[in-house]
Amino acid sequence: MGSSRLKSRRRQDLGSKWARVGIAILSTVGFIDTGSITLNKWGLIGNLNCPGGLGGCDKVLNSPWGTLIQTNNFSIPLSLIGLISYFLILLMAIFPLIPILKNQKNTISKVAWWGSFYISAATFTFSLILISIMIFKIKAFCFFCLLSCLISVSLLLLNVFGGGWEDYGKLFFRGFILSVAVLLAGLIWSSSVDPSSKEVSNNIQGMPPAVIEISSPEKIKLAEHLTKEGAVMYNAYWCPHCHDQKEMFGKEASEKLNLVECAKDGFNNQRELCEAKGITGFPSWEINGSIDSGVKTLKELAELSNYKNTKDF
């Protein structure tokens, strides 16, 4: 009877083999998911086929929260962290199943279960932060981000119920402490890159408010097209409608527009050019030799400039 109990206890300590198999499969899917995003961000693969609309995925993945480190020549996308996390979980799932490690199976299994639990708990907590940002800040749907969150919660549940834990109180306490630490760190990070939390006005006299809206790739292409066609937007730094027009494009796209400052006290103003063109209202667009005042929708600007690409702005 004693021998039977001892064997049962050892089997319990090793956890469920099928839970490990499930973790290995899910972490592989997560590895592919985050790997695709990372390769796309690095320009090594083309556009991702995003269920629910490509525009939402592009808007989320190209947002300030989609990049961890950005330099002039290189960027580290946030998805790389997920890629590394899923890879580590995959290794921890398969190591105890390798026959050559049979003699150290108990030790490796215990370390692997704890490591897998810690990483999956941290990944799940951080995924919740990212989903909240996606819903309330970016206001767009990204299938790949949602898939990663679902994989994270599934991995966490498999670790909790398949790990053969002897003391669940200890497990939950450690998981709670780790989750709180990740939550606080994640909130600090998300606030630090949030464009809306930064000063939207400039300290330089005569400078317009900063544009904080995120540009989609389609909006950037339209801005580049307008500039290539010689389109000009005449504006004044104090004009709220001019700011609204630039917010339609977003920060990255508006920086590619040919903007002319008309206010007499505006920074780097071209007042004489504006007077020569007869500009009296802001914003005013000059497209194909014609000047038209007022805020224009992006589709209107696309039609006026004979833009041929997709108009899904």
Reduced to 3 states (helix: H, G, I; strand: E, B; else coil), residue 76 is strand
| DSSP bridge pairs for 259 | 233
State the Cα–Cα distance between residues 289 and 284, nearest whole angstrom. Answer: 12
Q: Could you tell me the two tokens for 258?
A: 């040919």
Q: Would you give per-residue pLDDT tens digits along the chain (313 residues)?
A: 444 444 444 444 578 989 999 999 999 999 999 999 899 878 788 667 777 655 677 778 777 788 887 654 567 889 999 999 999 999 999 988 777 766 677 888 899 999 999 999 999 999 999 999 999 888 888 888 899 999 999 999 999 999 989 899 999 999 999 999 999 999 999 988 776 665 444 556 788 888 888 888 889 999 999 999 999 999 999 888 898 899 899 989 999 999 999 998 898 999 999 999 999 889 999 999 999 988 899 999 999 999 998 887 8
State the Cα–Cα distance between residues 83 and 173, nearest whole angstrom. Answer: 27
- Domain locations in the chain as residue ranges: 2-197, 217-304
- Burial label, 156 (beta-carbon count in 10 A; 0-12, 13-18, 19+): buried
CATH, range 217-304: 3.40.30.10
| Ramachandran class of 144: left when φ > 0, alpha when ψ lies in -120 to 50, beta otherwise | alpha
State the Cα–Cα distance between residues 225 and 142, nearest whole angstrom. Answer: 27
Question: The CATH number of 2-197 is which of 1.20.1440.130, 1.10.10.10, 1.10.150.110, 1.10.1040.10?
Answer: 1.20.1440.130
Give the residue from 216, 186, 212 showing the smallest Cα distance to 60: 216
Q: Which amino acid would we find at residue 156?
A: L
